[in-house]
Amino acid sequence: MSNKPEIQSANETYAASFGKGHLPMPPGRRFAVVTCMDARLDPAKFLGLEEGDAHVIRNAGGLVTDDALRSLVISHNLLGTQEVFVIAHSDCGMLTFTNEEVQEQLGTDVDLLPFSDLDASVRASVRRVRESPICAESVHGFVYEVETGRLREVA
The predicted-structure confidence for 5-60, as pLDDT tens digits, reads as follows 999 999 999 999 999 999 999 999 999 999 999 999 999 999 999 999 999 999 99
In whole angstroms, give the CA distance from residue 118 to residue 99.
Answer: 16
Cβ neighbors of 45 (< 8 A, separation 6 or more) are none
Q: What is the pLDDT of residue 24?
A: 97
Q: What are the angstrom distances between the C-alpha of 94 and each of 20, 107, 146?
A: 36, 19, 15
Q: What is the pLDDT of residue 136?
A: 87
Separation CA 44–CA 13 (nearest Å): 19
Using pLDDT thresholds of 50, 70 and 90, give the confidence band for residue 92.
very high
Let me know if residue 103 belongs to a domain.
yes
CATH of residue 135's domain is: 3.40.1050.10
Structural domains of the chain, count: 1
For residue 150, what pLDDT is reported?
98
* C-alpha–C-alpha distance, residues 58 and 68, integer Å: 8
Strands 54-59 and 31-36: parallel
Domain that holds residue 92: 23-153
Average pLDDT over residues 133-149: 96
Residue 113 lies in a domain: yes
Residue 90 reports pLDDT greater than 90: yes
Residue 106, φ and ψ in degrees, nearest 5:
-95, -10
